[in-house]
Structure formats: C-alpha cells, structure tokens
Amino acid sequence: MATKLPKVISMDVYPVAGYDSALLTVTGCHSPYFTRNIVVLEDEAGNKGIGEIHGGEDITAMLESYKPFVIGAEISDYRRVITDIRNGGYKVKGDSGEGLQEHILQNFKFVVKAVAAVECAMMDLLGKYLNKPIAALLGDGGIQRTEVPFLAYLFYVADTKKIDLPYLVESGANCKDDWDIIRRQVTLTPEAVVAEAKAAQKRYGFKNFKLKGGVLSGDEEMEAIDALKNAFPDSRINIDPNGAWSLNEAIRLCKNRRDTVAYVEDPCGPEAGYSSREIMSEFRDATGIKVATNMLATNWRQFHHSTVLHAVDIILADPHFWTLSGSVRMAYLLNDWGYTWGSHSNNHFDITLATFMQVAAAAPGEITPVDSHYIWQDGQELTKNPVQIRDGVIKLPTDPKTGELLPGLGIEIDMDKVLKANELYRTMPACYRDRDDSIAMQYFFNDWKHDPKKPCMIR
C-alpha cells in the first residue's frame, strides 16, 4: 500500500512590514515602510513550510481565502491545490487586463500570483519530507547550478531631509560598513551612483549592476550609466526606466551603445495607439540592443505576443508573477527558443531571496543575473539562517557538518521576528499598507501624480 504523505494541519497568514530607503522610480518615491505577506504552514510531522509574497490588503484577503483549499491537503498535492485555488479562491475585481504596461502600482494585485506563497510553503514542506532542496523538485531537470548570480540593483535616492516622514537612518555602531550608510543617503548624481555601486560591491562582491531609471532626464541617467561603465569596465551594466522614455528618445539615448549597456529593461511604454510590445519591437530593431521586460509580458498570452513581435530578448519571470513552477517552465521554454531567463524583484525579506535562489538554481541555460532589492532591506531578516550574497552569488545552502544540500528552501523561520514585523504592520499608518509612491513625492511637487511617460523628478 502506498505511503501517505503528511497533511497540512494549519495555515497562518502574517501581513508584515519593514523599513525602506527613499528609492525613486517612475512611480514616485518609496515610502518609509514596505509591506509583504508571509504564509506559514504546518504539517502532521511538525514541520513548518514558509512562503513570502507582495504586500497589500487585497493580497492578504486572497491568501486568507485559500485556507480551505490548503488545510487537509497532502504536502505533495500542491499542484492540485494551486488548481483548486485558481478555480475557487478569492479574486480582486476590476482587472482591466492592462497588466504593467504603464507600471501602475494599483495593477500589481492583478499581476501578482498570491498562490505562489502557498506553492512555495508546500514545496518547502515536501522538500523537507524528501530531504531535497526545492530546486531539485522544479522543472524537468532539477538542479542546474549550485551558485546563482545576482546583480546590484542601484537606485536614485531622494533627500529624506526634505521629507517629513519616518525613514530609517543607520549610523555609527549600527553600520557594518559604507553600504549601511550610503543606502540611506541622497543619490542623484553620476558620482553618487558610482559611490553607491562601489559600496554595494564591497559588501556583496557584485560583478553586474542595474540602475533604476525613470527618475531624471534620460540624458542624465545615461551619464550615470557611462560613469558606471568607466568605474566597472568588465561588468554588465543595465538600466530600467520602467517605460518612461518615448520611442524616439529611447532610440536616441541607446543607439550605438551596445558596448556600454548589456540590456535595457522596458525602455518604452504604450505610445500613439500602439502597445508597449509593438513599441519595444521598434526600439529593438532600431538599436540592436537586447531588451528585457517584467512589464509587457506578465502572463502567457502577453508573452506570446511579445515573442511574435520580436519585442524582447530577456524575460524577467518573477516567481511571484508566474509562480515557482511557472517561472521554471518559462526558463525551459526560453532556453529552447534561444531567449534568456531572469527574475525581477520588488522590496522583500529574506524568504523571497531564498525563493529566487531556488528557482534560479532550477532554470536551465545561461541565465541573466537575478534582480534583488534585498540589499536595501539587509538586516531585517525573518529567518534564523538567511542566505547570503557573497562574491555576487548565492550558493544553495548546505549543512555545515555534512556538506549536504539543505532541504526545502534551506532556511528556518524565526517566528519572533515575523511577529515583530507583523506588529510594525499593524501599528504603522494604514496609508502605507498598500504601496503608494506618491505620498513622499508631495514634499517635492504639489499634487504630484504618476505619469508613466514622465520621469518622477521631471515636472
């Protein structure tokens, strides 16, 4: 008789918050806090499985609605559970199908697959039962690499002295090194961007860099790219304006820069009645520069049209947009078709960092270095043994005594820290529970509103 696997006996959802820097993007300025949702499952064997997903009250409501589908399920039944949730779980109304073509923050809840947190937690339990890392359970070929390359995600940072909001400022004995100091300081010039990159490289050993654009004029941002290339001539340098440039401007800025920029992520958005997929196809043809996206292909139908139009070369398949299994499925398809897989990120805790590492370890072929905002949250971990970025990579966690790969996510939840982060979520002003980058921008421009075709500091 077949052995039955342990069943899930409890599912808890913890909306949590952490502290952020005043990071600038086309959508505005990050608030002092960022929010996430943590899922903790327990099975009959007493093991805990964990998952992390984007914050926001709608996503919390989705996760709470999944409990009847999860509790009582065998830990190996995560695929059926995901299917049942898709068919019967709570769905937020109002999805226009626009996705993230114009990087509207309110649309993230329609793009994010909250079920990915459940999938991750159940796979964490299954991995512990089988004594296998999640990476070994994903895709057709299991583990493809034991070291995953990550890039330094650089941002322009606003002057918090001009913003009367409670941003975290680390100083003195609270700082490990220059990175802890510089990540909270104003960064608005090419020289400051290079200093930020050097501090990040010194701590984490990064060999590749990406600058978040959509903040200043395109010419100023490309000056920063040139400065980064001069400072790190052997590194891959990328820029992500989140669609803030017009087609003509993007072509002017990027033409003849193939030796400077490894790829440009979402340089353009919808324009003159054409979708971002059509516009980016024209950009790619005109410049010959590789194009990456996390905006114009956020589901399989959008991906189909993106490839038919030859609009992209690199799909940044965030597991929280695609699910863990879906992201690895995308990686196999891209590898077979001659495209490149990568992963986009959002502000997150170390549970997501470990998740990205496991998914990327299962992705075949030559992947592009993985994005991570975690360097901006480093020190706010929710686990007892967070994975570490060293020499620009994260290694699959191993048992220090035996050297064997640790099962599941390879990390252990610290419930005291989770509860503390939950307490911060419950006590901070409610206006921060759903991300709103316009709040801090009011200190720079009266009645500032997001315009997808204007860098945030150009008004």
Closest CA to 47 of 78, 3, 83, 5: 5
Residue 325: how many other CB atoms lie within 10 Å: 20
Active-site option among 212, 290, 320, 450: 212
Q: What is the pLDDT of residue 310?
A: 96
Q: What is the pLDDT of residue 350?
A: 98
Active-site option among 128, 229, 344, 450: 344
> How many residues make up the chain in this entry?
459
One pLDDT digit (tens) per residue for the chain, 459 residues: 567 899 999 999 999 999 999 999 999 999 999 999 999 999 999 999 999 999 999 999 999 999 999 999 999 999 999 999 999 999 999 998 888 988 999 999 999 999 999 999 999 999 999 999 999 999 999 999 999 999 999 999 999 999 999 999 887 778 889 999 999 999 999 999 999 999 999 999 999 999 999 999 999 999 999 999 999 999 999 999 999 999 999 999 999 999 999 999 999 999 999 999 999 999 999 999 999 999 999 999 999 999 999 999 999 999 999 999 999 999 999 999 999 999 999 999 999 999 999 999 999 999 999 999 999 999 999 999 999 999 999 999 999 999 999 999 999 999 999 999 999 999 999 999 999 999 999 999 999 999 999 999 999
Q: What is the pLDDT of residue 2?
A: 61
Instruction: Output b/e per residue, 100-113; b: 16+ Cβ within 10 A.
Output: bbbbebebbbbbbb
Q: What is the pLDDT of residue 172?
A: 77
Residue 289: how many other CB atoms lie within 10 Å: 21
Q: What is the pLDDT of residue 171?
A: 76
Which domains are assigned to the chain?
Answer: 8-132+414-428 (3.30.390.10), 137-395 (3.20.20.120)
Does the annotation count 348 as an active-site position?
A: no
The full 3-state SS of the chain, as one line of letters, equals CCCCCCEEEEEEEEEEEEECCCEEECCEECCCEEEEEEEEEEECCCCEEEEEEECCHHHHHHHHHCHHHHCCCEHHHHHHHHHHHHHHCCCCCCCCCCCCCCCCHHHHHHHCCCHHHHHHHHHHHHHHHHCCEHHHHCCCCCCCCCEEEECEEECCECCHHHCCCCCCCCCHHHCCCHHHHHCCCCECCHHHHHHHHHHHHHHHCCCEEEEECCCCCHHHHHHHHHHHHHHCCCCEEEEECCCCECHHHHHHHHCCCCCCCCEEECCECCECCECHHHHHHHHHHHHCCCEEECCCCCCHHHHHHHHHCCCCCEEECCHHHHCHHHHHHHHHHHHHHCCEEECCCCCCCHHHHHHHHHHHHCCCCCCCCECCCHHHCCCCCCECCCCCCECCEEECCECCCCCCECCECCCCECHHHHHHHHHHHHHCCHHHCCCCCHHHHCCCCCCCCCCCCCCCCCC
Pairing state of beta strands 33-43 and 48-54? antiparallel
Pairing state of beta strands 291-293 and 33-43? unpaired
Closest CA to 347 of 212, 441, 453: 212
Give me 407's structure tokens: 């099962």
Rounded-to-integer distance, Cα 121 and Cα 358, Å: 13
Place of tokens 């440009």: 264
Does the annotation count 212 as an active-site position?
A: yes
Rounded-to-integer distance, Cα 52 and Cα 138, Å: 18
Rounded-to-integer distance, Cα 170 and Cα 49, Å: 32
Q: What is the pLDDT of residue 3?
A: 75
Instruction: Output b/e per residue, 376-404; b: 16+ Cβ within 10 A.
Output: bbbebbbbeebbebeebbbbbbeeeeeee
Give me 367's structure tokens: 């992947």
Residue 274 CB burial class (10 angstroms; 0-12, 13-18, ≥19): middle
Rounded-to-integer distance, Cα 177 and Cα 160, Å: 20
